Amino acid sequence: MARVVVDVPLAHLDRAFDYAVPDEMAGEVRAGCRVRVRFAGQLVDGFVLELTDVSDSGRTLAPLAKLVSSEPVLTPEVAALARSVAQRWGGTLTDVLRLAVPPRRAAAEKRPPAEPPAPPAPRDPAGFARYPTGPALLAAAAEGRPARAVWTALPGEDWPARLAELCQAALSGGRGALVVVPDGRDLDRLEAAAGARLPKGSFVVLRADAAPDARYRRFLDAARGSAKVVLGTRAAAFAPVADLGLVAIWDDGDDLHAEPRAPYAHARDVLVHRAHLSSCAAVVAATARTAEAALLVESGWAHELVADRATLRAVAPRVQALGEDHELARDPAARTARLPSLAHRVARAALAEGTPVLVQVPRAGYAPGLSCDRCRAPARCAVCSGPLGIAPTPGPGGSRVPACRWCARPAATFACPHCHGTKLRASVVGANRTAEELGRAFPGAPVRVSGRGSGVLPSVPAGPQLVVATPGAEPVAEGGYGAALLLDSWALLGRADLRAGEETLRRWMNAATLVRAHGSVVVAADAAHPVVQALVRWDPGWLAGRELADRRELGFPPATRMAALSGSPAALAEFLGAARLPDEADLLGPVPEPPRPGQDGERERYLVRVPRTEGLALATALAEVQGVRSARKVPEHVRVQLDPLDLV
């Protein structure tokens, strides 16, 4: 008998079904292969989870209708991971398997499996010598020990080379490795570093934009054990790596790691979970640090991998903020000017030395929230600490009043907890004419633009020039930038977003790390702001610890777990009426939600907050309601998302 998970997107059918294996298929059907079965009168696809001699159905079993392929593309480890991910995020196994296993391409399966290359020699630990515990991490990866680290990379670090060295260490011990990066540009750099350090044929690259045939062929190389190292973007977190010894993720704070499809799992959390299930080494690496990574360190699950302060000072650029006293004395308008005299001087000096200057401006299109008019701190609700925004009053000619975007309570009065100001202002949004403004300010220097609309530049040559880039689109400069200007800071710091502080620091540090050692970085923000202080001292761990402590006090993730429920008011009322939420669950809302593409009518959203220890109970309760509603064929769908990045 074969235990089969059928590809049917119904929550109440999220389990395996037993089918008899016909005699003519007995020698070919194996665990992990693709089959077709008759289900509810239709032929549907499925995966064989296991073969067994005992059935729990208590009835005569229907036979398998067709063996699509005898290739075992769903390994037992990935099947167990997919089931665990579905349970933790309140989804279904079928949803996860759609992310984990690419569509079949018959031509790729006809190729004979290649022999894996011989293991390489252990890597010289010189690349990690600047980090006190770096050589020990390499040794643990080579020996197959489950070492876990949160790595804060030094400014200017060749992080693709370091990650490739970790993969080489795992390979030298006969183990596999899996590395996930945010986007194709990072993947190009990582692939180049791996090609220079790993044996030919020992690794494959899983790209989201690859042709289906190429992607499936590389997937099979990993599933067959021909290539024991997998490099890829978000979906590669489920890759079937043989003898997994190491998982790593670069820049875990990038929102591209968050899966936009159900069950909406984050690649970092999937890899951490996979490291636990497989008892392998794990590295969460970035230039900055998220609150989630800080929680891994605080809990003892992982240890810090950081350089000492002397090493940091030798390679870090000099960071200057506009709020410093001597700069205000020189330029009293520095607080309000978009390009004050300090930025002018630094840029002119770098251009005069023949080096490029990076100018980072926020991405256009952020939804403006509200902040304190005096200190510009994000305005929050006095009841649930959610962000304040502008909500229109019902009725013709209604006024627009501040209200919480989480619990919808109006904020008739406001008192800033930081400076005791009582007035609100709209948060600043980025400008679109930065390149033109700089061209007029520096008429002798060429200006290049990197970002959406104008195209993302992978790199720029050395030489005097101004490079204007949006966050995440900063090109690498040959020899490094001589200076970097971080403009329109309040467009980032003033966002009504839980992660505004850590996200701002991440974007600033990713830009500043492209500046050569002892170059200059100017940030157009008040030097007293905690995020600016973390950048000036180059201490992302301090800010991440502070963020984690603040969120724990206010009941925010990752100290708690949250679920966002979206749907029509009637559907949400029915859903919540049937849900058996944990006793400690805190229900926030409802708040209006704009309709999604293809959806009409009024929509609302609730947030459900529980202590972290009750996260699995919350996921189970929400999945049960989805199953009941699916079995009853309720026409109105309620969108359930656990641990959403955006709580606004």
Cβ–Cβ under 8 Å, residues 482 and 357 = yes
Q: How is residue 439 written in tokens? A: 């061209």
- Angle of the 76-88 helix axis to the 267-278 helix axis, nearest 10: 130
How far apart (Å, rounded) are the C-alpha atoms in residues 270 and 641?
15
How far apart (Å, rounded) are the C-alpha atoms in residues 70 and 2?
13
33 is in an annotated binding site: no
Residue with tokens 């800033």: 416
| 138 sits in which H/E element | helix 134-143
Q: How is residue 286 written in tokens? A: 């970035």
Burial of 341 (0-12, 13-18, 19+ CB in 10 A): middle
Cβ–Cβ under 8 Å, residues 586 and 555 = yes
**Which of 442, 477, 475 shows the shortest CA–CA distance to 356?**
477
**Which of 304, 249, 306, 305 shows the shortest CA–CA distance to 275?**
249
Residue with tokens 């490029």: 356
280 is in an annotated binding site: no
Burial of 333 (0-12, 13-18, 19+ CB in 10 A): exposed
How far apart (Å, rounded) are the C-alpha atoms in residues 569 and 506?
37
How far apart (Å, rounded) are the C-alpha atoms in residues 164 and 250?
12
Q: What's the gap between Cα 165 and its chain centre?
A: 23
Burial of 36 (0-12, 13-18, 19+ CB in 10 A): middle
Neighbours of 294 (CB within 10 A): 26
Q: How is residue 164 written in tokens? A: 């490739």
3-state SS of the chain: helix, strand, coil percent to 5?
Answer: 35, 25, 45
419 is in an annotated binding site: yes
**Looking only at Cα atoms, what is the longest distance across the chain?**
89
Residue with tokens 């899966």: 259
**Which of 406, 627, 576 shows the shortest CA–CA distance to 497?**
406
167 is in an annotated binding site: no
How far apart (Å, rounded) are the C-alpha atoms in residues 402 and 405?
9
Long-range contacts of range 11-16, CB-CB < 8 Å, 24 or more positions apart? Answer: 11/92, 11/623, 11/626, 11/627, 11/629, 11/630, 12/627, 12/628, 12/630, 12/631, 13/630, 14/86, 14/92, 14/93, 14/94, 14/623, 14/627, 16/49
- Provide φ and ψ at 432, rounded to 5°: -105, 0
How far apart (Å, rounded) are the C-alpha atoms in residues 637 and 518?
56
372 is in an annotated binding site: yes
What residue numbers does the annotated binding site cover? 372, 375, 381, 384, 404, 407, 416, 419
What residue numbers does the annotated binding site for Zn(2+) cover? 372, 375, 381, 384, 404, 407, 416, 419
